[in-house]
Amino acid sequence: MEDLISIIVPVYNAEAFLNRCVDSILNQSYRNLEVLLIDDGSADGSLAICREYERKDSRIRVLHKENGGVASARNLGYRTMKGAWFMTADADDYLAKDAVKTLWEGAVKSGADVAIGGMELFWKEGEAGERRCWKENWAGSLPEFTAQCLVPLFDLQLIHNQNNKLYRFCRLYCDESMSINEDIWFSVKMLSKSSRICVVSDVVLYYRQHQEGESLVSRFYENGVDTCFTLLKAVEGLLKRGKAAPAVRNEMYNRMVFHICGFAGLCYYRSDYSRRRCLEEIRRLVRRPEFARLLSRVRPRGVKNCLAVFVLRLRLTRVYHWMCLALYGRQRREFRARRKGERG
């Protein structure tokens, strides 16, 4: 007998994409679904579209709330869902026809608490995009997953996305203080709570790519670096519970250095910060004790990481600042010219 699976869809001003997303859920080959459409204070016609779907299909429930962000919308879904399993979906993406069935069968067959699927990135409807899938079906314990799959799946960004996974019910809520990095944080936390994990080689999620500057990950967030350290703590917890070998730990530490420095670099070419303010942000980063611990643990790999770790270990913040100005100079000039044009 098929288990009840809840699918939680935060909806905010998504009328241009919403039908494609909801139709892909309702047309799943797996039928025993509860679909929670969480309208997060939309100002367009999204709520009306949700209500129309609710009238047509008894599997759908619509919940409306004041705007509070995707994390708060998902949390409302977690508090009210009835399924033994759950998935999440963003309103501008859509699912493969057999996505739920493929993930559920993989999880049940292997006794997994989390099932991870592949995804295909696309820019426009109907256009094939880049496929990111694991090479074969896989299942094992958390330590086995950490040893064999964590790093390659991280590099494929299959850890980063919350929506390419099926989760056995577990009481975990999104951190609503995180305006970015919340997807990967949630995935890492759920993996660390799992005894067994399975990976399916099929595409389960079609993940929309937006124009440069529109994507959440390309925007500047004042608390972006702070959320990286919330993520780092979760990654360290996963490595500990997964009994990660030193080599795996070092690979993940390298990726976290790259991730944190990348977010710090956004202030140079995605914000209106002055050069002095950018320098102060680097100094603030270097003063963080958890960053100092990370730099002391990592054996850097790759030219960028080797340079960054060497300079920041010595707290040569002005040197690192000059490196960032040189690296991001063209993007910084283009961003400022574009902003000047927008302001007239």
Maximum CA extent, the chain: 63
Q: Do 106 and 227 fall within a single domain?
A: yes
Q: Do 22 and 38 fall within a single domain?
A: yes
Phi, psi for 30 (deg, rounded to 5): -85, 120
Residue 173: per-residue pLDDT:
82
Residue 215: per-residue pLDDT:
42
Q: Which residues of the chain have pLDDT under 50?
A: 212-217
Give the integer Cα–Cα distance in Å for 257 and 75: 29
Q: Do 38 and 141 fall within a single domain?
A: no
Phi, psi for 298 (deg, rounded to 5): -80, 140
116 beta partners: 165, 199
Look up the CATH number of the domain holding residue 83: 3.90.550.10
**Residue 251 domain-assigned (yes or no):** no
Q: Do 202 and 331 fall within a single domain?
A: no
In the listed set 57, 92, 127, which residue is the last one of a domain according to the structure? 92
**Residue 4 domain-assigned (yes or no):** yes
Q: Do 108 and 56 fall within a single domain?
A: no
**Residue 177 domain-assigned (yes or no):** yes
**Residue 152 domain-assigned (yes or no):** yes
Q: Do 78 and 109 fall within a single domain?
A: no
Count of residues in the chain: 344
Contacts of 113 (CB under 8 A, 6+ apart): 107, 167, 168, 170, 193, 194, 195, 196, 197
Q: Rounded to an integer, what is the distance from CA 320 to the centroid of its chain?
A: 28
Give the integer Cα–Cα distance in Å for 181 and 216: 10
Q: Which amino acid is at 76?
A: L
Q: Which amino acid is at 151?
A: V
Residue 87: per-residue pLDDT:
97
Give the integer Cα–Cα distance in Å for 225 and 90: 24
**Residue 59 domain-assigned (yes or no):** yes
**Residue 222 domain-assigned (yes or no):** yes
Residue 214: per-residue pLDDT:
42
Nearest-CA neighbor of 24 among 91, 104, 72, 83? 91
Three-state SS for the chain is: CCCCEEEEEEECCCCCCHHHHHHHHHCCCCCCEEEEEEEECCCCCHHHHHHHHHHHCCCEEEEEECCCCHHHHHHHHHHHCCCCEEEECCCCCEECCCHHHHHHHHHHHHCCCEEEEEEEEECCCCCCCCEECCCCCEEEEHHHHHHHCHHHHHHCCCCCCCCCEEEECCCCCCCCCCCCCHHHHHHHHHHHCCCEEEEEEEEEEEEECCCCCCCHHHCCCCCHHHHHHHHHHHHHHHHHHCCCCHHHHHHHHHHHHHHHHHHHHHHHHCCCCCHHHHHHHHHHHHHCHHHHHHHHHCCCCCHHHHHHHHHHHCCCHHHHHHHHHHHHHHHHHHHHHHHHHHCC
Q: Do 112 and 35 fall within a single domain?
A: no
Q: Do 131 and 233 fall within a single domain?
A: yes
Instruction: Using the structure block, give the residue that is written with the tokens 């879904």.
Output: 77
Give 220-260 pLDDT, tens digit per residue: 888 899 999 999 999 999 999 999 999 999 999 999 999 99
Give 325-341 pLDDT, tens digit per residue: 999 999 989 988 888 77
Q: Do 71 and 104 fall within a single domain?
A: no
Q: Do 177 and 280 fall within a single domain?
A: no
**Residue 259 domain-assigned (yes or no):** no
Q: Which amino acid is at 5?
A: I
In the listed set 244, 276, 311, which residue is the last one of a domain according to the structure? 244
Q: Do 39 and 158 fall within a single domain?
A: no
In the listed set 75, 92, 109, which residue is the last one of a domain according to the structure? 92
Give the integer Cα–Cα distance in Å for 154 and 157: 5
Domain that includes residue 80, residue range: 1-92
Structural domain tally of the chain?
3
**Residue 250 domain-assigned (yes or no):** no
Residue 210: per-residue pLDDT:
67
C-alpha dist (Å) from residue 123 to 159, 213, 215, 286: 21, 14, 12, 37
Q: Do 47 and 104 fall within a single domain?
A: no
Give the integer Cα–Cα distance in Å for 92 and 118: 17
